[in-house]
Amino acid sequence: MASSVRFCGSSELWVSVILLAAGKGKRMGLQKLLLPWGRETVIEAVLRAFLASGVKEIIVVLGEDLALLRNLLGPYRVKLAFNPLYSSGMASSIRKGLEYVDPRAQGIMIALGDMPLIRPALIDGLLEAFGKGKGIVVPVFKGRRGHPVLFPRSFQGELMGLSGDEGGRRILEEHRDEIIEIEVDDPAILMDMDTLEDYERLLSFARSAGHFHEDPGT
C-alpha cells in the first residue's frame, strides 16, 4: 500500500511538514496512532493525506513506541526523526523536526499525528494561501482556529525557542498582524484524539461522511 503513495508537490513552492507523532496518548493508556482507521492505522491515514498534497517533504517525529512506528512508516517516503526528549512536551518534537527541514524550505507546516480526518484538499488550500501571502496561515472553522498551521521559514528561530508543551500559540499571539486566517467548511481541523471517546467520535463522523468509501485503499 505504501509504495503507491507519491508526492505531488509543485516546483514553485517548497513547504516542509513536521508531523508530530512522538507521544503515546496518556489519557488513552495506549498508542493511539496505531488504532485502526479503515484498512490502515490512524497515523497512516494522516500521512497519506499529506503525501497526496502539494507539500515537498514530510518529517515524522517519533518518540514513544519508536520501533513499532518506525517499522510501520519505514516504507513511506518520509524522513523519520527520533526525539529522545518527547516526554518533555510538544516543543521538543517541533525543535527536533526543525533539525531535518530541507534548506530549500520556504514554509514549515506543523501538523498533529492524531488527526486522521485531514484531507489533501485542505492542506493544498493552506499552501495556496501561503503562496499568495507568505504570512502565518491558520485554518478556521466557525471562528475557531485549528491545525495544521503553516509558518514562513523566517519563524524557525521562534519555533526553536518554544518550550514545554507549548505549540505555536505564543507565536500566533505575538504576531497577530502576520496571520492569514483561512475559513474552511471542514471541522476536521479541530478534531484530534485525546481519549477513546474522541476516537469513537471521529470514527462515527468518518463513517457518516462516507470517508472510508472514497478510496479503495482505505
Query: Residue 91: inside a domain, yes or no?
Result: yes
Residue 156: name the closest of 89, 90, 124, 110 by CA: 110
Q: Residue 195 is part of a domain; what is its CATH number?
A: 3.90.550.10
- Please state, as a whole number, how many other Cβ atoms lie within 10 Å of the Cβ of residue 94: 22
CB of 149 closer than 8 Å to CB of 112: no
Instruction: Say if 151 falls within a structural domain.
Output: yes
User: Other CB atoms closer than 10 Å to residue 61's CB: what's the count?
Assistant: 27
| 3-class SS of residue 190 | helix
Cell of 41: 492505522
Q: For the segment 53-81, what is each residue's pLDDT rounded down to a tens digit? A: 999 999 999 999 999 999 999 999 999 99
Give the domain extent around 189: 12-160+168-212
Domain count of the fold of the chain: 1
Query: 3-state class of 121 per DSSP?
Result: helix
Q: How far apart are CA 147 and CA 124, in angstroms?
A: 13
Whether 51 maps to a domain, the answer reads yes
What is the rounded CA–CA span in Å between residue 118 and residue 191?
A: 9
Query: Is the omega angle on the peptide bond into residue 148 within 30 degrees of 0, that is, cis?
Result: yes
The amino acid at residue 25 is G
150 assigned to some structural domain: yes
Q: Is residue 5 part of a domain?
A: no
Evaluate whether residue 2 is within a structural domain: no
pLDDT tens per residue, range 181-212: 999 999 999 999 999 999 999 999 999 988 87
Q: Do residues 152 and 136 make contact, with C-beta atoms less than 8 angstroms apart? A: yes
pLDDT (tens digit, 9 = 90+) per residue, 5-54?
Answer: 334 444 579 999 999 999 866 677 789 999 999 999 999 999 999 999 99
Q: What's the predicted TM-score (pTM) here?
A: 0.91
Does residue 3 belong to any structural domain of this protein?
no
Burial class (CB in 10 A: 0-12, 13-18, 19+), 69: buried
Would residue 107 count as lying in a domain? yes
Q: What's the rounded Cα separation, in Å, for the pair 143 and 175?
A: 18
Average pLDDT, integer, range 81-108: 96
